[in-house]
């Protein structure tokens, strides 16, 4: 299969290569099929599976297929007769509706059959990058090859695109795995790949954080058994048993692999946050060098996205708040060349977040902290 998916195997047969690739990806669910090989197989099979993925990533546009000659061997398809009904048959209206419907279906089928880069990326993100610890199976050379050929910006765009289709809803495990792998990918030469994809990274991580249970970041609080007053000693034994059963169910925390929790904690790693902040400051400094309306809007947008990212991180793991804010407080830059007017990053992000559309959910309510999760859900 790795040979069959290798574009170099079809030096003069681009059309055959595209037809085979289209079929195995769309109808054969190839990436779903090799997912268990990567998760549970021996190293040799994992290596073969990675070869297949690498060759799929190498499938670059154009994706135009020459018309198939198979249609000349197909039996002609005749339209079904229209059943007349109503006072005068009503054939005209019914036939028009039927024809319109079949045309729409035919157009939709043609669209599904067409391979494009977005589809390939979406399949890789859904079926491969959501494999737990997938990036750990890659060699440094292969990891960098993926970052270049996917590329990283396109992966993040795919995450955002799939989120707009509600693909990540109620998919805690996949989202957690995807968060792990994207965080690992972001550490591959961050001064190259992460710097140029900073805004997309902020948006994609936010979208994933809004679709994952907090149990992946910290154990939920266990409910204390309800103490009964002595005056209620006449309560029936049956009611007491029901009370105890409810308490036990409420106390049971969701079990999460500790290795996954440990890896997700790297989202809050001081060095990782420091790199994000440093890239942001460099981006602002570069953008402000060109004082145009467009550059001002770009700064406002990226500032809001970064502020919302840090907000989402705090919401998911409140106990990490102090360390994260301390990192932000450490950084500042100056609005003038003589360095007499410092701009403090935490205040800058607060202002950017306050001007963001999803901050409007608070209005004049002082209970801002209690409404943060609602605001995050409203944004996404």
Would you say the C-alpha torsion 164, 148, 42, 33 has a positive or negative sign? Answer: positive
Q: What is the pLDDT of residue 329?
A: 82
Per-residue pLDDT in tens (0 to 9) along the chain, 380 residues? 888 899 899 988 899 999 999 999 999 999 999 999 999 878 889 999 999 999 999 999 999 887 655 444 455 555 554 444 443 344 444 444 443 444 444 344 444 568 999 999 999 999 999 999 999 999 999 999 999 999 999 999 999 999 999 999 999 999 999 999 999 999 999 999 999 999 999 999 999 999 999 889 865 454 444 454 445 455 555 555 545 554 434 444 568 889 999 999 999 999 999 999 999 988 887 777 666 667 677 888 888 899 889 989 988 998 898 888 888 888 777 666 666 677 777 777 877 777 766 666 555 555 555 555 555 555 44
In this predicted structure, what is the pLDDT of residue 141? Answer: 94
pLDDT for residue 177: 96
Q: What does the pLDDT read at residue 77?
A: 52
Residue in 34, 29, 28, 36 with CA at minimum distance from that of residue 49:
34
pLDDT of residue 370: 57
Length of the chain: 380
Burial 2-16 (b: 16+ CB within 10 A, else e): eeebbeeeeeeeeee
């Amino acid at each position: 299969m790795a040979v069959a998916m290798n574009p170099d195997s079809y030096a003069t047969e681009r059309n055959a290569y595209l037809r085979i690739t289209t079929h195995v990806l769309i109808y054969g669910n190839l990436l779903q099929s090799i997912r268990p090989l990567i998760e549970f197989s021996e190293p040799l099979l994992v290596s073969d599976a990675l070869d297949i993925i690498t060759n799929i990533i190498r499938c670059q546009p154009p994706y135009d297929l020459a018309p198939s000659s198979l249609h000349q061997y197909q039996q002609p398809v005749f339209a079904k007769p229209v059943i007349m009904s109503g006072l005068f048959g009503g054939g005209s209206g019914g036939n028009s509706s039927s024809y319109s419907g079949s045309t729409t279906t035919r157009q939709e089928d043609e669209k599904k059959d067409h391979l494009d880069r977005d589809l390939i990326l979406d399949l890789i993100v859904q079926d491969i990058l959501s494999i737990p610890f997938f990036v750990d199976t890659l060699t440094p050379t292969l990891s960098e090859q993926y970052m270049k050929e996917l590329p990283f910006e396109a992966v993040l765009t795919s995450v955002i695109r799939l989120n707009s289709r509600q693909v990540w809803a109620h998919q805690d495990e996949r989202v957690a795995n995807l968060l792990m792998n994207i965080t690992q990918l972001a550490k591959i030469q961050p001064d190259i790949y992460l710097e140029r994809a900073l805004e997309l990274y902020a948006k994609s991580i936010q979208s994933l954080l809004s679709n994952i249970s907090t149990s992946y970041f910290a154990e939920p609080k266990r409910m204390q058994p309800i103490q009964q007053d002595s005056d209620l000693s006449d309560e029936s034994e049956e009611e007491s048993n029901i009370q105890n059963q409810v308490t036990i169910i409420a106390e049971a925390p969701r079990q999460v692999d500790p290795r996954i929790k440990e890896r997700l904690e790297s989202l809050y790693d001081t060095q990782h946050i420091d790199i994000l902040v440093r890239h942001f400051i460099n981006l602002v400094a570069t953008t402000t060098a060109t004082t145009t309306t467009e550059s001002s809007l770009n700064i406002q947008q990226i500032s809001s996205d970064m502020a919302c990212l840090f907000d989402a991180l705090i919401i998911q793991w409140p106990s990490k708040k102090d360390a994260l804010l301390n990192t932000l407080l450490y950084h500042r830059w100056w609005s003038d060349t003589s360095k007499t007017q410092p701009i403090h990053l935490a205040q800058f992000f607060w202002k950017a977040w306050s001007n963001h559309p999803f901050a409007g959910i608070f209005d004049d309510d002082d209970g801002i902290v209690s409404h943060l999760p609602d605001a995050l859900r409203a944004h996404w």
